[in-house]
Amino acid sequence: MLRFLLQRLALMVPTIFFVSVIVFSLQQLLPGDPALTIAGDEASPAVVAEIRAKYHLDDPLPLRYGKWIAGLAHGDLGFSLRTQQPVTQLLAQKVPVTVELATLAMAVALTFGVLMGVVAAIWRGSAVDYIARSIALFGISMPSFWLGILSILLFSVKWRVLPASGSVSLIEDPIENLRSMIMPATVLGLVVSGVIMRHTRSAMIQVLSNDYVRTARAKGLAERTVIFVHALRNAALPIITLGALEFGQLLSGTVLTETVFSIPGFGKLVVDAVFNRDYAVVQGAVLCTAVVFLLLNLFADLAYAFVNPRLRTQ
């Protein structure tokens, strides 16, 4: 197991290197000049040239990449061209908020998604199944932006029970933090729960028709044990895979939800950085996202082994 873990960690290094090279090269293909974007249309060519020189934007690409990698080795991801803030500081501000939002949204998604999926599979074809599938379809079809605005109008403007936007540090004020996260996490979670419900339902339907489930029932096991110990555990593999991917998506930013609820998260940071040609921020954020995705894949693999003992020996 340890060897497997070390192998996977070692494989991450070339992958991250490859991602960094691709990002560094591809963003040079974007139309627009970062020096001009910072300087704006009022600036004279001399000012644009000054900015280009100040931020070494006219250095050859390999040299700039080398400097960036050298900085990375010291934990320095450079400065935002637009705001002059250190990229590490920007990421440090965004990552905790995004991780918290994604975790809470995932908790909502898994709770509703798995529960509805199991219930729909058990009573397949019944009214319960149709209701669960309708809720899932609603979750998948509703744009999070629209759902967010409606929630704000209802819970913040009309009833005034939850804050309309913003986020407070979990350490400074846990209650206010939770209040500000309830709506965005639920909106995001509902959207993801629809996808999880559909996968859970189909996996459970397949598993419930297997011989070992019939055997478990024939042994006289309680239905709860049959469903949750025998069936759900075997249906869990595709749910884990999907869950890891969805969690990765949530961690890499959810621009619309962040915009509606004014959550200072990762998604808005990346989108604004791309539009402002803020290369250092894009590079830092993409690198961070790549590491998160790789780690989540690793956790998913470990989770497979946890729920399915046969995979531990492979």
Binding residues (CB under 8 A) for other proteins: these are 30-34, 36-44, 47, 50-51, 53-54, 79-80, 82-85, 90, 93-94, 149, 152-153, 156-157, 160-168, 173, 175-176, 178-179, 182, 259-264, 268-269, 272, 275-277
Nearer to other proteins, 196 or 273 (CB): 273
Instruction: For helices 174-208 and 87-122, give the axis angle rounded to 10 degrees.
Output: 40
Q: In the chain, what are the helix, strand and coil shares in percent, each to the nearest 5?
A: 80, 0, 20
Alpha-carbon gap, residue 143 to 165, rounded angstroms = 18
| Closest separation in Å from C-beta 48 to other proteins | 9
Nearer to other proteins, 35 or 110 (CB): 35
Nearer to other proteins, 67 or 217 (CB): 67
Nearer to other proteins, 84 or 314 (CB): 84
| Closest separation in Å from C-beta 250 to other proteins | 18
| Closest separation in Å from C-beta 26 to other proteins | 15
User: Looking at the DSSP assignment, which residues form a beta bridge with residue 79?
Assistant: 86
| Closest separation in Å from C-beta 283 to other proteins | 16
List phi, psi (to 5°) of 86. Answer: -65, 140
Report the alpha-carbon angle 142-253-143, nearest 5: 10
Nearer to other proteins, 185 or 208 (CB): 185
Nearer to other proteins, 80 or 234 (CB): 80
- DSSP for 248-300? HHHHT--HHHHHHHT---HHHHHHHHHHTT-HHHHHHHHHHHHHHHHHHHHHH
List phi, psi (to 5°) of 79. Answer: -115, 150
| Closest separation in Å from C-beta 136 to other proteins | 27
Alpha-carbon gap, residue 15 to 312, rounded angstroms = 25
| Closest separation in Å from C-beta 69 to other proteins | 22
